[in-house]
Structure 1
């Protein structure tokens, strides 16, 4: 659990500032579960430059509660939370100073979104809250007011969570929970998981990730793990302390993210298979008469494939689907490990009065909806909530990453802003084949070019 926090102060000498406004959002990593926003009477004068910056003046605070009147609420909303703020050193220091004046020692674990941004957004031109969130396309209202800045910090933190492939943020949260003595049972863990698509992380008592999985229904999948008598999952059950998760909105992001994070974190119970996940591919070849034809072969990483498959049967179904649109004769050469089904060039003839250029162009047109190599491509799909969409981004056939954006936001409007929002994913043959196989089988996406 996190407490996203921002304060405004009177200004003045170090450790003599008073709080004039405070905003706290209790955030479970997915949604806001509680919030507290209030002006605070600091009982000292506000510096003139602060009045100009924030718009908060002494008259506004005359009837506001004093800090001792809101202290109990601050303790309550931040209990068992990691405090998250933009430049946490300042906000946390001022709050602890206010509590010390009351004779109370306030202590919480902290995370700083400035430090996290420097690590996870190394290309950013500025790490000031206003400039950073604007460069990322994150809306910010009431700048230099506690509520506006806290909400912008929360949205920035959500982006940083998705970019944190090494899961240092989640691990720090688990370690904080351990310190507070929380030890949830399996049923408690299951109750807190969503019945939606995403990635889940099983942690041991040290906060280490021991298993990463993905599912269309996270809750159902983890429950299967906890009730399995499989040898591996019996060991996982013994070592499980808690489970965290990340919604991905759709299966394609979950597929890519699972592969990426297993390779980065190397959990002890994830087996990385050396076997090609998609052992068969579709290639385009040219016969002696200059006509293109399909060839279904074992996947060769040295050649660029048109589509990737788990079996020759799956490949044949794809070819039949494509050619039914062509209304043209076609030829497919099927090669597998058992036998090579070869035909002579004379077996492939075009009965229509078409030259090879016209025929080949028609063939390429039929494949256009599956071409991820031409230009820059968005694969648009569902987001994590109703008002959101997701985009897988490829530039000239190379996977760059994924992002989420509001339905009202025109994603094409600013490439620079888009790149700032991207959570990068490594480009390799397997990820390419994951994308190809997905766009062959699924219909819940839209492929657009920019």
Structure 2
């Protein structure tokens, strides 16, 4: 499988460029099987000559997703693929640099259609994508835009595959693809599993649960368990007698059930997951001048946290984004250590709370808006997410800031009646882990529907 891509960037100094647009076509050697195309907010200036070349300017990118918002999709669509690009060393370097900024090692095997073209179609006047496409009769539109260039590269690569009589490209791809060494008894187990979101349970021959996990694709995740060479995976492979599962549709439901059921069943191969799943939290305090300060600190369980994070870096990333979204002061959010004004004030992006130029009342309104959005303390609300089927939704009840449980309801029925609602809900324990799971999911899942309830249910 191949991931054929093209990237447009801001230009600028080496390894300081940012992505402005990306297009990826997953290609199985015959047809396109998946695609991802998006503008990207590079959070930096675009060089004028690049604007002239691509037509992409800063105004076009204001509301575009930032790289961290599309990173997961890029990982998914390129997983187990060879990355193909015209001058792949450039595109691959840019991708690795962006992922490195997120602290994620991005590693893929690559193929360059410039080098392949030189080998398989020698003596061409030029190997630039535009001139090569014209010479070969490959239709091309939107030159110097990611989608147009990526699609032209797909067509060029398809032609190169046909011209590769020695099948060097295919042989190389087969080496990369994972081999299936799954014993027949494990293959039989896999055949019965769905490619859907839910929680799965790995049992030994006594029926005991030895591992609990969640996945957006149960079948694919079990295949990974059965092919992985790690010590734990080999032990699971030796002991597994059956795999059962429960579809949830909603990833949030799967996360909550996984956490609760690991604590309850204590499977022998889930020891690492029994520990608390977050390390840092967002706290607030009022300083001597009356300003609400925010800080990311280790989660100690003593002070009331606004929201929690798996790592300090994810907490810092959250703060940087919300300082921009709510026009907050870097100094009063712990992001800029200074005794005078913060950096954003110096560039006229802060109203001056750091040096008492803005009143505490005005500044605190914006801080409280952030706190109100990300904390559900004392709130009564329903969270509505995907269901297990197309005509169903999942529902999560929070009452007085306490998670009560989850359930599923048919779209043909109303759930505003408290008796009906409570009959749908399967009670679940409210603890620090469930609060972290819910708050984290609310932060990153923009499609989650939230219904605030006026009266205590």
State the secondary structure of the residue aligned to 1:411. coil
1:248-259 correspondence to structure 2 within 5 Å: 248-259=248-259
Q: How far, CA to CA, are the matches of 1:257 and 1:438 in structure 2?
A: 14
Would you say the 8 A contact 1:325–1:366 is kept in 2? Answer: no
Greater relative contact order structure (CA < 8 Å, 6+ sep): 1
1:119-198 correspondence to structure 2 within 5 Å: 185-198=185-198
Would you say the 8 A contact 1:228–1:234 is kept in 2? Answer: yes
- Check if 1:443 corresponds to 2:446: yes
Aligned to 1:428: 431
User: Alpha-carbon deviations, 1:13-69, whole Å to 9, x = none?
Assistant: xxxxxxxxxxxxxxxxxxxxxxxxxxxxxxxxxxxxxxxxxxxxxxxxxxxxxxxxx
Aligned to 1:312: 312
- Check if 1:356 corresponds to 2:360: yes
Count of residue pairs the alignment pairs up: 262
User: Alpha-carbon deviations, 1:184-227, whole Å to 9, x = none?
Assistant: 82112111111111100111222221211111110000011111
Residues 345 and 389 of structure 1, relative CA distance in 2, 3 Å threshold: farther
Aligned to 1:374: 378
Q: How far, CA to CA, are the matches of 1:212 and 1:236 in structure 2?
A: 11
Residues 231 and 326 of structure 1, relative CA distance in 2, 3 Å threshold: closer
Residues 332 and 311 of structure 1, relative CA distance in 2, 3 Å threshold: farther
Task: Structure 2 unaligned segments of length 5 or more: list them.
Answer: 1-183, 343-351
Task: Structure 1 unaligned segments of length 5 or more: list them.
Answer: 1-183, 336-340
Would you say the 8 A contact 1:278–1:433 is kept in 2? Answer: yes
Q: How far, CA to CA, are the matches of 1:344 and 1:350 in structure 2?
A: 9
Q: How far, CA to CA, are the matches of 2:420 and 2:258 in structure 1?
A: 25
Aligned to 1:407: 411
State the secondary structure of the residue aligned to 2:353. coil
Q: How far, CA to CA, are the matches of 2:203 and 2:275 in structure 1?
A: 27
TM-score, length of structure 1 as denominator length: 0.54
Following superposition, the deviation at residue 281 of structure 1 comes to: 1.0
Would you say the 8 A contact 1:225–1:233 is kept in 2? Answer: yes
1:90-129 correspondence to structure 2 within 5 Å: none
Note the aligned Cα RMSD (angstroms): 2.6
Residues 350 and 221 of structure 1, relative CA distance in 2, 3 Å threshold: same
Following superposition, the deviation at residue 375 of structure 1 comes to: 2.2
Aligned to 2:295: 295
Would you say the 8 A contact 1:297–1:334 is kept in 2? Answer: no
Following superposition, the deviation at residue 361 of structure 1 comes to: 2.1
Q: How far, CA to CA, are the matches of 2:260 and 2:427 in structure 1?
A: 10
State the secondary structure of the residue aligned to 2:271. coil
Q: How far, CA to CA, are the matches of 1:291 and 1:229 in structure 2?
A: 54
- Check if 1:398 corresponds to 2:402: yes
Following superposition, the deviation at residue 342 of structure 1 comes to: 5.6
State the secondary structure of the residue aligned to 2:383. strand
Residues 352 and 286 of structure 1, relative CA distance in 2, 3 Å threshold: closer
Residues 225 and 279 of structure 1, relative CA distance in 2, 3 Å threshold: same
Aligned to 1:323: 323
Aligned to 1:97: none
Would you say the 8 A contact 1:198–1:254 is kept in 2? Answer: yes
Aligned to 2:244: 244
Residues 429 and 223 of structure 1, relative CA distance in 2, 3 Å threshold: same
Following superposition, the deviation at residue 370 of structure 1 comes to: 2.1
Residues 366 and 273 of structure 1, relative CA distance in 2, 3 Å threshold: closer
Following superposition, the deviation at residue 345 of structure 1 comes to: 8.6
Would you say the 8 A contact 1:197–1:216 is kept in 2? Answer: yes
Q: How far, CA to CA, are the matches of 2:341 and 2:324 in structure 1?
A: 22
Q: How far, CA to CA, are the matches of 1:233 and 1:353 in structure 2?
A: 59
Q: How far, CA to CA, are the matches of 1:302 and 1:322 in structure 2?
A: 25
Q: How far, CA to CA, are the matches of 1:351 and 1:345 in structure 2?
A: 6
Following superposition, the deviation at residue 383 of structure 1 comes to: 0.7
Residues 223 and 265 of structure 1, relative CA distance in 2, 3 Å threshold: same
User: Alpha-carbon deviations, 1:216-241, whole Å to 9, x = none?
Assistant: 11000001111122222222212211
When Rg is computed on C-alpha atoms for both structures, the one with the higher figure is 1
Q: How far, CA to CA, are the matches of 2:328 and 2:239 in structure 1?
A: 59
